[in-house]
Amino acid sequence: MASAKKKATLFSSASSSPSSSSSPSSCCAVDSAVSAAPAAAAAANVVQEWTVASRDRRDDQRATKAAMASLIHPVDSLPDTSTAAPSTKGIQILPRAQTSHPLDPLSAAEISVAVATVRAAGATPEVRDGMRFVEVVLLEPDKHVVALADAYFFPPFQPSLLPRTKGGPVIPTKLPPRRARLIVYNKKSNETSVWIVELSEVHAVTRGGHHRGKVISSKVVPDVQPPMDAMEYAECEAVVKDFPPFREAMKKRGIEDMELVMVDPWCVGYHSDADAPSRRLAKPLIFCRTESDCPMENGYARPVEGIYVLVDMQKMKVIEFEDCKFVPLPLADPLRNYTPGETRGGVDRSDVKPLQIVQPEGPSFRVNGCFVEWQKWNFRIGFTPKEGLVIYSVAYVDGSRGRRPVAHRLSFVEMVVPYGDPNDPHYRKNAFDAGEDGLGKNAHSLKKGCDCLGYIKYFDAHFTNFTGGVETIENCVCLHEEDHGILWKHQDWRTGLAEVRRSRRLTVSFICTVANYEYGFYWHFYQDGKIEAEVKLTGILSLGALQPGEFRKYGTMIAPGLYAPVHQHFFVARMDMAVDCKPGEAFNQVVEVNAKVEEPGENNVHNNAFYAEETLLKTELQAMRDCNPFTARHWIVRNTRTVNRTGQLTGYKLVPGSNCLPLAGSEAKFLRRAAFLKHNLWVTRYAPDEMFPGGEFPNQNPRAGEGLATWVKQDRPLEETDIVCFWNYPCPSIGRLACYASGAHWFHANAAWIL
């Protein structure tokens, strides 16, 4: 099992934090969870009965799971005290004319209407029959539409945020209709198209209202392949298992029961013209279980090497096959599995006592639809198939200074996992898990595990499947509070007076599984004004098999005949900033800060002097930056028109965590598609179509440097403009036994497995 986490403080406030702390540390349909009264729920869980393991371990496991489940309290949306329509200058503001905020994710009904509208617009029955729906998402409106909605139609009802115009505010009677953006793959023609559909809400007294759609535009995007779909993966596995030469190759390895075989289709990337997007291709990796009727069996512990398979995913057939070399299947290691009955091995863990999360008065957050208020923070929650969790309209309510915007939009827009083993098949493993697959589409329903504890607000997520049906992931996003140690403390040594404040944070998260790996994405909001992005890596490594007695320096031996190839995980966060910018304002800039050692001389006679030197990043090419721990380098997004009480410009600071650049050579094939990994930080001027750093369609993309590396060639000015920051932070994975069998080569078995 792999376990790691990466986090960066995105962002801590610079010059604008209202807190005295100086810590430098680093969907959604409303869910249907039934709420219990907070006080009653807390009272019911004040005492928990925990016992030592019984003779029947299954009884003990059931009791443990029941006790853990009792610590989870779903909550309904809490009432909003500001739902009354506001007024400005004596003018009564019209009540809401729409039921969905312009930034709310598409509902299941809207997705169905969008799909039906596009399907009906197909030119011929053959075209309609070939349509496969890769993605149906909200076409996010212009920022001024969002500002109108927040001012007059939806919480937080802030008409004062809008710029004042001569003659008073112009109050709209309704907002523009919502629009859907669809990516459609035609399986018969191998074409990818993008459609825009307008969704009009039609109110019918007898039917309670319904939606209708109208095609606004459609275009074919040449020379691309869209992300793969789960239905394609299942079809590919079946096709490979039924291929006679493959069955014969598995028979040579002692496997005749195809129920034991796992076929994981991987996108081919782009290594040569043979990978061009004129064909929709996959090169599967093969694994083998030891027990076909055991769902707990870890098949990823037995990789099958030496078999090369190429599948045409459009025609769904094997087009190339070779049994290259015979590598024995790794033995069934007794430590390969991870379920309690398999790993505890009779170890008594009654030393783990219950740790309860009790909030007798309920949570401190408030939820109205997708709008969240907590302490001084407020924001909106969204979700997309590619990015997963999206945070919109982040703002901090700062006393008499009112609602101060921080960011328009925060999300993880790509994740790249290049491997460092030059041998086949590992050299071609360079997954773009967002662009080739989808972080959101692979998200978990958190009702299946104790991923969050305490009082929880869940949000559902709706997607289209490949054939155009709507699928819902219930309890996809988790919102809850966490204790986070002390926020600050001081004791006066003369008087003995001590003051301490505990730190609490609001966490919004989701977890996804992409084949063998799990990724938990977390956005933490702190009471001292910090925002922290964190990714937790867990799951199972993508392993390789070895010949008897073979050792490979490009990985770590973790069991006889089994090794973990070295690799890196790169996570790319996109941050559309709005520091102290009201709607329509663009007064942000980015400065780089480095610690500078003062030259010896009359100003530094003791040779101890250093100071913080600031450099304004004036253009996009100048703003391709890298970390430098030797100068404590960081960056500040500033507002050029707002100052704090000392006269300093207000801003938010990007504080990098541990970091590195790609460890591969500069001519590595995967860097053709991932040129954005060559720098830690990229700053661009906002453009609505510049969302994904490797371009919208990285799958089999033959165009070198598409995305960020191309956008910044415009070298647009970055002074007093709408700033977008793309931040890369990697997690190098040089395998250790903790990832599979023991902690840092010290234990005989992974110490976490017996919990």
Span between the terminal Cα atoms of the chain, in Å: 14
Q: Are 138 and 181 spatial neighbours (Cβ–Cβ below 8 Å)?
A: yes
- Distances from the Cα of 658 to the Cα of 626, 629, 730, 732, angstroms: 12, 9, 8, 10
Which is the catalytic residue, given 275, 333, 421, 433?
Answer: 433
**Residue 428 burial by CB count (10 A; 0-12/13-18/19+): exposed, middle or buried?**
middle
Q: Strand pairing partners for 371?
A: 368, 380
What DSSP letter does each residue of 19-41 carry, written as one string? S---------EEP-PPPPPHHHH
Is residue 348 flagged as an active site residue?
no
The answer to whether residue 392 is catalytic is no
Residue whose C-alpha is closest to residue 578's, from 410, 729, 374: 410
DSSP conformational letter for 341: H
Q: Quickly count: other Cβ atoms within 10 Å of residue 401's Cβ.
A: 14
Closest C-alpha to 468, from 194, 118, 123, 27: 118
Among candidate residues 517, 522, 526, 652, the one labeled active-site is 517
Look-up of token digits 């490594």: 541
Residues 582, 161 contacting (CB under 8 angstroms):
yes
Residue 507 corresponds to which amino acid? T
Burial zone of 171 (CB within 10 Å; 0-12 exposed, 13-18 middle, 19+ buried): middle
Give the C-alpha separation, 10 to 24, whole Å.
12
Q: Torsions phi, psi of 251, nearest 5? A: -65, -40
Two tokens, residue 98: 């729409």
CB atoms within 10 A of CB 642: 19
Q: Decide if 387 contacts 403 (C-beta within 8 A).
A: no
For residue 614, give the 3-state DSSP assignment: strand
Residue 556 tokens read as: 């770590």
Contact call for residues 558 and 318 (beta carbons, < 8 A) = no
The neighbour count for residue 486, using CB atoms within 10 Å, is: 12
**Residue 723 in contact with residue 588, Cβ under 8 Å?**
yes
The residues carrying an active-site annotation are 433, 517
